[in-house]
Structure 1
Amino acid sequence: MNEAKTRQDIIDQRLAKAGWDVKNPAQVKSELGIKIKKFDSVSEPEHTYDGQQYADYALLGDDGYPLAVVEAKRSSRDARIGQEQAKQYAKNIQSQLKGKLPFVFYTNGHDIYFWDTEKYPPRKVYGFPTKKDLERLMFLREHEKPLSKELINPDISGRPYQIEAIRSVFEGIDHAKRKFLLVMATGTGKTRTCVSMIDVLMRTNRVQRVLFLVDRIALRNQALDAFKEYLPSAPLWPQRDETKFATNRRVYVTTYQTMLNIIEDDDYSLSPHFFDLVVADESHRSIYNVYKNIFDYFDALQVGLTATPKDALERNTFKLFECEDGLPTFAYSYEEALKNNPPYLCDFEVLKIRTKFLELGINKGTLSGEDLNRLASKGENPDEINYANTDIEKSVTNLDTNALIVREFMQECIKDEVGVLPGKTIFFAMTIAHAQRLKEVFDKLFPQYKGEIAKVIVSEDPK
């Protein structure tokens, strides 16, 4: 396919998907004439008009000034051979029209590269930006302020390690990095640290639109509450009971699955350049395996947050955020939080609840004579009963074991201020069915609490 055919069949269509009408000269100027100097690196033959060549596409703003130039190559060629040529077009447009430096794109129809020559090296992107995207990116580039001089709001994140985490990201941004991974122990304020970072990035015109991703609805609601409290002036999506995607907000908080559905839904046609920053809460293996497409799709600064200790993180997590194995952008461990004077976190004690079944499993040797007789009366062979301890509550259920666990917990747990009810506690069950059985045991053993002592919280629950 030659260049003209590539443009007509592929590139024009991809520009149209981003809202550009290539037949409207007020939006797209094809073959924009540019007076140029001779550059040894420019390999395309000179036009017959001396000292002048033509940019394949110029994407125009409302004032008619080129926001970006697009250099096209035939589909069979490497798009990157147009890199230097496109850059020189942009520079000569700026010189000729005495205006802003246009953004640079070069493509063979299949691969699209974006180059903000004043800030970053070229990078491959999923698609072309819309006019609003380019206008926003141009505004941010023209009005950005130094990050190093901007104060971090201590009312949002005033602890030294939180400030260090934020500054580590800012230092990377100043060195043209675009991906970051923050490892912070549970309870040390990952969300507040992130909100504080976003506050500064917005005040310095580094970002306008932020996507904050979580893996379940409960965490989404917590994050929404944090943004409402600490960034009350930033319009949020979603508002209460809002389901339709809105394009006029500053901060978007949603689950990975919801955003993946939006990306894949042609009715939304969400631009790959819609967000300036994507934050991934609880970044771990499942994020890389299942939702990597989200990070590939959006051309934005990306920050991963996780409480998983750096030594336990999968290599893919470091790879996703372009960090060396074992070396996140910043890490603050549980042990460091304990050692601080005064400590930021409290230590814990392990209470081991041992039963014969939990230690040895369920088999002929661990069953009582009564159990063996009951099996025999049902025509079952006790020799065929053999469950490892790891199978309990996965392949087999033992109600007595669950009851023992609940009784031990109620006896040994930290109580409320009255000394009666347990303090807030999380039980990590083996399965959803196991969680339901544990609740039933609580209700059976402690009926005086009328079914309110324990609640099942699972992904299937819309609340």
Structure 2
Amino acid sequence: MGKNLSERDVCSKFITPAVIDAGWDLHKQIREEVSFTAGRIIERHNGYIRKQGKRADYILYYKPNIPLAIIEAKDQNHSVGSGMQQALDYAETLDIPFVYSSNGKGFVEHDRTNSDEQITRQLSLKSFPSPEELWNRYRKSQGFTEEEEKIVAQDYFMEPGGKTPRYYQRIAINRTVEAVAKGGDRNLLVCATGTGKTMIAFNIIHRLWKSRAKKRILFLADRNILVDQTMANDFKHFGDKMTKITNRTVDKSYEIYLALYQGVSGAEDWKNIYKEFSPDFFDLIVIDECHRGSAREDSAWREILAYFSDATHIGLTATPKETEDVSNIHYFGEPIYTYSLKQGINDGFLAPYRVIRYTFDRDVEGWRPRKGEKDRFGNLIEDRMYNKKDFDKGLVLENRTIQVAKKVAEYMAHTDRFQKAIIFCVNVDHAERMRQAIANENPDLVTENHKYVMRITGDNEEGKMELDNFIDPESVYPVVTTTSKLMTTGVDAQTCKLIVLDSVINSPIEFKQIIGRGTRINEEYGKYSFTILDFRGVTDLFADPDFDGDPVQIYEPKDGDPAVPPEQDGGDEPDDPDSLDDGYPERDPGGADIFIDDKDNENKIYYVKDANVKVVSEKVQYYGEDGKLITESLKDYTKKTVQNEYQTLDEFLNKWNESERKEAIIQELLEQGVMLDELERTVGRDYDPFDLILHVAYDQKPLTRQERANNVKKRDYFTKYGDKARAVLEKLLDKYADDGVENIESMEVLKLDTFSEHGSVIEIIKEFGGKNNYLMAVQELEQEIYAS
């Protein structure tokens, strides 16, 4: 009898009762079928599907924020320990100490905290450990004192109906709280942009504050928008215990303080408002985006941290800075936890991307003026060869800017003219010229609303005032923004679908921060992926093996070494990015860009109007299953991927013909990395997945959906059915010709208006003699569609 019990039967009849009998609370401590990843997003027909996410059969919690055990269940055709390897894999991901496998006849336990004694053991159903036993074993393995245990066991803040932290957020919070409880005074967390670092910071602070381990706390950021967003959103629950420090007032009656570091420090002593607090006032400082100033020993950040050196410091960043001169790891230590962009995409919490690279002839060949050639303002152009690094700095080829704008407008016209887009430019002057060029490419939309395209740079108040509207998913305008440095970090643009790179970027940190503007997902507004248009070869940085790897310290401090001058540190922005966007042009008091002609012509910029510029190559690259960009052709990649699964044409045909639902095969292909939507764009949108695969993977001549539908009609296949049933099948065939086979396999199709003249779904199915006969008729129709 036991051999016939399903996995669910085993859970309900044996495992759950055994766990309850051991003292675990069914409603508070036991969670079954826990999905902990969302499943990687795969684009499909102006929508998306998700690969199957990871799901644990059981997770057992000592408290809501402390998972202690994971159980993988198997039916009784499997041995008691057959689920252990999968459970161990999940436990490692979830940072859970005790791991169990069961088939309902007993348990196999693996203790991940135990390295000195027996790691695995067999348990009967009646000897499953209680919550107190597992907690005591875990507490002992970590060496918690009574005071440390009180801090570690402090609950999360949970508002009614609020979201619980994702698994990686919980790990980041728990590891940090444990480290601080055990006396760790310098701690580093590395989490990819879009993974909720501020939410993580809030829960760390809240738990340490509630447990009274830390009583007065400073959250330090480098942009006003970051401070204000944090106070209004994640930190709002601190209420009247929280305040923002400015350089005008100091009130020491609060417990949670937020500050813009530029607002509390400066070259003159009177600007160093932080010195109004005693050095021992704060016992915890959380530094957001700590890859910036705090990595550098001579920065204003470090000056503040040195002043409050007795406090515990926690650094948060997506991009830790590790160079020969500056190091986050040297200051904070090795990261307590790292959650990478690749992990976030594979888990389905971050948006995947594709890259379209454009190459201009002038970028490859360079440009040299004719003898005596002058620019549009009558300036004699210095005779030398200008290349990509000069463009829009020392030399402006105005037609190059126009060509970039044309390609951006062309892409948006083919996809969505109202998708949020950020164009990263060389400097403010370039950003303004790009704004004008985009406006000229979209006169209809700009006439309708001039805020369709806006320049958002540090020197422009009108643009900065529109930043909140750009970020707001409900606000249509602005749609396209041009910027230089201001929007590289701290801009939570959930619906940004297009990142345009028209600036030479050599810093992997800056590049990764820019990419982070597109990684957020907002399914409500249809944001589940994004595209990068690269006009400067910046995406070569994706090929850097360290791009998404673990940070490695290469800084070697030496006694007596001088501090690193700011100009040698190429990865950071100016010390005050809210007031100066790029530092290249000098500005007049009114904020306009002016370029000073000094004796050495160092700041001279030549504006060339008539130089022809054209695109010489355009290459599309895709995010692969391994987290790297696919550099081979889409057809070659598809052929290799399909033939790894179906080695011969006959093998694929047999699988296709035997499948009751073709949609299942299509989804299987998508999950294996076959990019059907991209194939449609390159091979043709009139073919369905079957013919795309036949053509690309097996070199067969494809038939369009319409050709296949016409072939069915020629064979008089429908004559065996009555008039009404035949009319329904003919419309299903037309639906296939228009939209593909996956759109006729569900009975939901019968609810469409085109079928309403034949009656309700129930009435239509009756014409076929019932549901089973209807489904059989659809399968026969598919056989006719794909007949040789």
What interval of TM-score do these two structures reach, taking the shorter chain for normalisation? 0.5 to 0.7
Whether 1:293 and 2:303 are equivalent positions in the alignment is: yes
Q: Which position in structure 2 is the counterpart of 1:411?
A: 410
Letter in 1 for 2:430: H
Shift of 1:264: 3.7
Q: Which position in structure 1 is the counterpart of 2:400?
A: 401
1:334-385 alpha-carbon deviations (Å, 9 max, x no partner): 0111121xx1011111121221223333225xxxxxx778549979578x23
8 Å CA contact 2:372–2:381 kept in 1: the answer is no
CA distance 1:230–1:312, shift in 2 (3 Å): farther
8 Å CA contact 2:290–2:320 kept in 1: the answer is no
1:242-261 alpha-carbon deviations (Å, 9 max, x no partner): 95233222322222211224
Letter in 2 for 1:305: L
Q: Which position in structure 2 is the counterpart of 1:349?
A: 354
Alignment counterpart, residue 153 of structure 1, candidates 151, 154, 157: 157
SS state of the match for residue 386, structure 1?
Answer: coil
Q: Which position in structure 2 is the counterpart of 1:338?
A: 345
Alignment counterpart, residue 263 of structure 2, candidates 237, 258, 265: 258
Shift of 1:208: 2.4
Q: Which position in structure 1 is the counterpart of 2:417?
A: 420
Q: Which position in structure 1 is the counterpart of 2:216?
A: 209
Letter in 2 for 1:358: D
Shift of 1:145: 7.4
8 Å CA contact 1:220–1:253 kept in 2: the answer is yes
CA distance 1:376–1:238, shift in 2 (3 Å): closer
SS state of the match for residue 389, structure 1?
Answer: coil
Whether 1:442 and 2:447 are equivalent positions in the alignment is: no
Q: Which position in structure 1 is the counterpart of 2:250?
A: 245
1:26-61 alpha-carbon deviations (Å, 9 max, x no partner): xxxxxxxxxxxxxxxxxxxxxxxxxxxxxxxxxxxx
For residues 287 and 180 of structure 2, the distance between their equivalents in structure 1, rounded to whole angstroms, comes to 17
SS state of the match for residue 455, structure 2?
Answer: coil
For residues 396 and 254 of structure 1, the distance between their equivalents in structure 2, rounded to whole angstroms, comes to 40
SS state of the match for residue 401, structure 1?
Answer: helix
For residues 161 and 349 of structure 1, the distance between their equivalents in structure 2, rounded to whole angstroms, comes to 25
8 Å CA contact 1:152–1:196 kept in 2: the answer is yes
8 Å CA contact 1:214–1:282 kept in 2: the answer is yes
For residues 444 and 414 of structure 1, the distance between their equivalents in structure 2, rounded to whole angstroms, comes to 14
Letter in 2 for 1:244: T
8 Å CA contact 1:288–1:316 kept in 2: the answer is yes
For residues 414 and 210 of structure 1, the distance between their equivalents in structure 2, rounded to whole angstroms, comes to 49
SS state of the match for residue 253, structure 1?
Answer: strand
For residues 276 and 432 of structure 1, the distance between their equivalents in structure 2, rounded to whole angstroms, comes to 41
8 Å CA contact 2:175–2:337 kept in 1: the answer is yes
Q: Which position in structure 1 is the counterpart of 2:388?
A: 389
Could you list the runs of 5+ residues in structure 2 that have no partner in the other structure? 1-146, 465-788
8 Å CA contact 2:322–2:329 kept in 1: the answer is no
Shift of 1:386: 1.8
CA distance 1:195–1:316, shift in 2 (3 Å): same
SS state of the match for residue 349, structure 1?
Answer: strand
Q: Which position in structure 1 is the counterpart of 2:427?
A: 431
For residues 265 and 212 of structure 2, the distance between their equivalents in structure 1, rounded to whole angstroms, comes to 27
CA RMSD of aligned residues (A): 3.4
For residues 381 and 179 of structure 1, the distance between their equivalents in structure 2, rounded to whole angstroms, comes to 54
For residues 394 and 254 of structure 1, the distance between their equivalents in structure 2, rounded to whole angstroms, comes to 34
Q: Which position in structure 1 is the counterpart of 2:457?
A: 458
Q: Which position in structure 2 is the counterpart of 1:316?
A: 327
CA distance 1:246–1:445, shift in 2 (3 Å): farther
CA distance 1:145–1:185, shift in 2 (3 Å): same
For residues 242 and 368 of structure 2, the distance between their equivalents in structure 1, rounded to whole angstroms, comes to 60
SS state of the match for residue 411, structure 1?
Answer: helix
SS state of the match for residue 170, structure 1?
Answer: helix
Name which one, 1 or 2, has greater alpha-carbon Rg.
Answer: 2
Letter in 1 for 2:440: K
Letter in 2 for 1:333: S
CA distance 1:262–1:207, shift in 2 (3 Å): farther
Alignment counterpart, residue 276 of structure 1, candidates 261, 267, 283: 283
For residues 202 and 452 of structure 1, the distance between their equivalents in structure 2, rounded to whole angstroms, comes to 44
8 Å CA contact 1:184–1:331 kept in 2: the answer is yes
Shift of 1:424: 2.1
8 Å CA contact 1:156–1:195 kept in 2: the answer is no
CA distance 1:415–1:221, shift in 2 (3 Å): farther
CA distance 1:283–1:381, shift in 2 (3 Å): closer
SS state of the match for residue 362, structure 1?
Answer: coil
8 Å CA contact 1:157–1:193 kept in 2: the answer is no
CA distance 1:227–1:264, shift in 2 (3 Å): farther
Percent sequence identity is 24
1:403-436 alpha-carbon deviations (Å, 9 max, x no partner): 22122122224999xx432x22222221122222
8 Å CA contact 2:148–2:182 kept in 1: the answer is no
Shift of 1:333: 0.2
CA distance 1:310–1:257, shift in 2 (3 Å): closer
SS state of the match for residue 182, structure 1?
Answer: strand
CA distance 1:363–1:230, shift in 2 (3 Å): farther
SS state of the match for residue 188, structure 1?
Answer: coil
1:116-150 alpha-carbon deviations (Å, 9 max, x no partner): xxxxxxxxxxxxxxxxxxxxxxxxxxx99712211
For residues 244 and 170 of structure 2, the distance between their equivalents in structure 1, rounded to whole angstroms, comes to 27
For residues 174 and 376 of structure 1, the distance between their equivalents in structure 2, rounded to whole angstroms, comes to 65
1:295-332 alpha-carbon deviations (Å, 9 max, x no partner): 101131111111116778975211121x1xxx312110
